[in-house]
Amino acid sequence: MENILKQLPQKAKEAEPENKKFFSKLKKKPPKHLDSLMQELHEEEFQRTDCLTCANCCKTTGPLVTDKDIERISKHFRMKPQQFIETYLRIDEDKDYVLQSVPCTFLGADNYCSIYEVRPKACREFPHTDRKKFQQISNLTMQNVAICPAAFNIVEEMKRLLNK
């Protein structure tokens, strides 16, 4: 996995022109079965890829943290929401709460998330490859393929299947 992660930014850069073309076509005319295809590709890929050998998302990009996340996680720590915010969060340029630092404070040396059961919604949903109307998040996906090896493989497989 270490090698895969090392090569990923370069591979994503090389795939970018093709990905741009592919997603622009996909946005104009998404196939009717896209939602079910994404479910399938996502499940197949995550049977092969074990996030515990990777954790690159937790190491390199923090999630956006919503008010609901703050409520749930601060309760878990028996902290007041304000205290949780002051200890772990900052406001970014889009005025959203994000983590003060990456790698994420809650990531263990064994790649386990210490707040897994109550982790932010964005962590639960990353890399969003099983979401409905996948064509609507193509810009985000093009960024994610440089971080997430599973997302990279899923996009490559989409291109293989849909570019026929």
- Contacting residues for 103 by C-beta, under 8 A, at least 6 apart: 55, 58, 59, 60
* Closest distance to ligand SF4 from the beta carbon of 43 (Å): 14
Query: Which residue in 38, 41, 70, 104 binds ligand SF4 (CB under 6 A)?
Result: 104
58 near ligand SF4, judged by CB under 6 A: yes
> Could you say whether residue 84 binds ligand SF4 (CB under 6 A)?
no
Tell whether residue 126 is a contact of ligand SF4 (CB under 6 A). yes
The closest alpha carbon to 57, from 117, 11, 124, belongs to 124
Contact between residue 155 and residue 18 where contact means Cβ atoms under 8 Å apart: no
127 lies in the binding site for ligand SF4 (CB under 6 A): yes
In angstroms and rounded to an integer, the radius of gyration of the C-alpha atoms of the chain is 17
Strand, coil or helix: 164: coil
Q: Token digits for 128? A: 């969003």
Q: Which stretch binds ligand SF4 (CB under 6 A): 19-27, 82-90, 99-107, 131-139?
A: 99-107
Contact flag: residue 41 with ligand SF4 (CB under 6 A): no
Minimum distance between the CB of residue 85 and ligand SF4, rounded to whole angstroms?
A: 15
CA distance 53 to 157: 22
- Options 15-23, 30-38, 50-58, 76-84: segment touching ligand SF4 (CB under 6 A): 50-58
C-alpha–C-alpha distance, residues 123 and 63, integer Å? 6
Q: Which residues bind ligand SF4 (CB under 6 A)?
A: 49, 51, 54-58, 63, 104, 106-107, 113, 115, 119-120, 123, 126-127, 147-150
